[in-house]
Amino acid sequence: MGKFEYAPAPESRAIVSLRESYGLFINGEFTPSADGRAFKTISPATEEVLAEVAEAGPADVDRAVAAARRAYERTWSVLPAKERGKYLFRIARIIQERSRELAVLESLDNGKPIRESRDVDIPLVAAHFFYHAGWADKLEYAGYGPAPKALGVAGQVIPWNFPLLMLAWKIAPALACGNTVVLKPAETTPLTALTFAEICQQADLPPGVVNILTGAGDTGKALVTHPGIDKVAFTGSTEVGKQIARDCAPTRKKVTLELGGKAANIVFEDAPVDQAVEGIVNGIFFNQGHVCCAGSRLLVQESVYDQVLASLQRRLATLRLGDPLDKNTDVGAINSAAQLAKIRELSEVGEAEGAQRWSPPCELPVKGFWFPPTVFTGVSQAHRIAREEIFGPVLSVLTFRTPAEAVEKANNTPYGLSAGVWTDKGSRILWMASRLRAGVVWANTFNKFDPSSPFGGYKESGYGREGGRHGLEAYLDV
Ligand code: NDP
């Protein structure tokens, strides 16, 4: 049977009005960096330069932290809680109104398919602000005492895989609890954070409550080590997370870290195979596998291994890779040349260590950063591709015979962010969930998120929770 051909269905870029250059957002205004430094952000799908963005240095970090402190002391901490809530509701509504623009901009700067930015990222961003707006004047019912207090100024550093969503996970609870923030987006994806700064202006948020500093790792380091902040929230690699934990250890800063993962997605012989295959695909190929909780280790019960693998390969042959702005695209671009190099390197290690590599026939665009959906079979627990976070569209397949063996293999990792279980038996789901050392266990589904549900890790996946009642604790003096 020939492959069904789709006509191109690109979403229009016209809704986005990109500026040639962007300043830092400090005290409610866009301003150049003190030393005039700037960098360019590109579209990973085409390598086209999208805009030039200011690079914050230590003097800018000082300025932003001072603005956040002033706003905390004079405005935000003395504002009645229900007024804080109103600002958050207003921001949430503006995000909904501007959702198409934000989705197109996110896909341009990050490379993710418009279907995902439009249907997953941006709706969750709005949901996060709505959810936390509701908490602002109800904190005494959150279980942290009768009048829980804010911490003060939060320094927040986020990665490039879900740029605006990670911003929402950081800023919404911080503001709802009465803190002010200085946030640094990732170097490769600053544009939706800068549009969020415009949204703060549009919502008449008091100056200094939210400050956005664009820059690279040095800017992040200057922010988290600044003596003027009370709280550090970081999402990113385990390596940088450990460095931040060391940097903050001698201080009184409260720290939460959300780091890497190597999640097991476990398929039992009684699972509905077609449904499980959809879950496997969603688990590792959603967002090109740039997901900290991605189901990157597939554990299949030996008795159904051939059947699951054949179905998976059939399904992968139907995935469409290409233009992120095309509404029919399933797999977009890899976010950067550096990330592509890392995915290539680990995939070559997988082959060299003896695993078998397979990808569906798939034409890669000439320009930009691309990697085909890839499956490794014959993987053993000792292989690096079974142990290390690849953070790309690469799945390692292992097998097991008994539930106890599945638990042992799933937990055999320094990480513990998430896991998936596919089975027809409710009792087995509960048996597995109580033994898997992971912050989230999905049953007969994968990669499902909700602002009311806490998210976070065991072991080297970090500490602290984001979302839900539990996530408020990170921003309260309790
Ligand atoms: P990083 O941990 O370096 O980046 C995360 C954020 O931290 C970025 O904003 C980054 O800035 C900033 N940063 C970098 N160094 C420091 C520092 N010393 N102090 C404070 N902030 C800092 O991840 P990478 O983007 O380099 O990705 C590397 C690997 O990390 C990936 O291949 C993937 O395996 C993993 N990763 C995991 C994520 C997760 O959610 N679990 C998210 C992102 C990456 P900038 O980007 O500007 O350099």
pLDDT in tens, 457-476: 999 999 999 999 999 999 99
CA atoms in the 13 A half-sphere facing the CB of 377: 11
For residue 243, the ligand 1 atom closest to its alpha carbon is 18
Say if strands 254-258 and 462-463 run parallel, antiparallel, or are unpaired. antiparallel
> Could you tell me the distance, in angstroms and rounded to a whole number, from the CA of residue 391 to the centre of ligand 1?
12
Distance CA 375, CA 285 (A): 11
Q: Which long-range contacts (C-beta less than 8 Å, at least 24 apart) are formed by 446-453?
A: 446/265, 446/279, 446/280, 446/282, 446/283, 446/295, 446/420, 447/282, 447/283, 447/286, 447/291, 447/293, 447/294, 447/295, 449/124, 450/127, 451/124, 451/127, 451/128, 451/130, 451/131, 451/132, 451/172, 452/131
Closest residue by CA, ligand 1 atom 24:
237
pLDDT value at position 3?
Answer: 60
**H or E, element range at 58:** helix 58-71
Q: Over the chain, what is the mean pLDDT?
A: 97
Higher pLDDT, 114 or 4: 114
For residue 185, the ligand 1 atom closest to its alpha carbon is 9
Does the C-beta of 378 come closer than 6 Å to ligand 1? no
pLDDT value at position 2?
Answer: 52
> Could you tell me the distance, in angstroms and rounded to a whole number, from the CA of residue 141 to the centre of ligand 1?
35
Does the C-beta of 230 come closer than 6 Å to ligand 1? no
Distance CA 300, CA 378 (A): 12
- Residues designated as active site: 258, 292
Closest residue by CA, ligand 1 atom 36:
237
Mean pLDDT, rounded, for 46-55: 98
pLDDT band at 355 (very low <50, low <70, confident <90, very high): very high
Mean pLDDT, rounded, for 418-444: 98
Q: Give first-to-last CA distance, the chain, whole Å.
A: 62
Does the C-beta of 455 come closer than 6 Å to ligand 1? no
pLDDT band at 5 (very low <50, low <70, confident <90, very high): confident
> Could you tell me the distance, in angstroms and rounded to a whole number, from the CA of residue 179 to the centre of ligand 1?
24
Mean pLDDT, rounded, for 168-172: 98
Say if strands 418-422 and 21-22 run parallel, antiparallel, or are unpaired. unpaired
Does the C-beta of 228 come closer than 6 Å to ligand 1? no
> Could you tell me the distance, in angstroms and rounded to a whole number, from the CA of residue 340 to the centre of ligand 1?
15
Does the C-beta of 156 come closer than 6 Å to ligand 1? no
pLDDT tens-place string over residues 265-309: 999 999 999 999 999 999 999 999 999 999 999 999 999 999 999
User: In a 10 Å sphere around its CB, with 0-12 CB exposed, 13-18 middle and 19+ buried, how is residue 469 labelled?
Assistant: middle
By most ligand atoms within 8 Å of CB, the mutation choice from 237, 339, 345, 389 for ligand 1 is: 237
Report the amino acid identity of residue 51.
Answer: A
pLDDT band at 224 (very low <50, low <70, confident <90, very high): very high
pTM: 0.98
Closest residue by CA, ligand 1 atom 25:
159
Does the C-beta of 297 come closer than 6 Å to ligand 1? no
Closest residue by CA, ligand 1 atom 13:
217
Distance CA 262, CA 307 (A): 24
Distance CA 157, CA 175 (A): 16
Residue whose pair of structure tokens reads 């360019």 in the numeric block: 40
pLDDT tens-place string over residues 72-112: 999 999 999 999 999 999 999 999 999 999 999 999 999 99
**Are the beta carbons of 210 and 171 closer than 8 angstroms?**
yes
pLDDT band at 426 (very low <50, low <70, confident <90, very high): very high
Say whether pLDDT at 331 is over 60: yes
pLDDT tens-place string over residues 373-415: 999 999 999 999 999 999 999 999 999 999 999 999 999 999 9
Does the C-beta of 456 come closer than 6 Å to ligand 1? no
Does the C-beta of 237 come closer than 6 Å to ligand 1? yes
Does the C-beta of 344 come closer than 6 Å to ligand 1? no
> Could you tell me the distance, in angstroms and rounded to a whole number, from the CA of residue 342 to the centre of ligand 1?
13
Say whether pLDDT at 1 is over 70: no
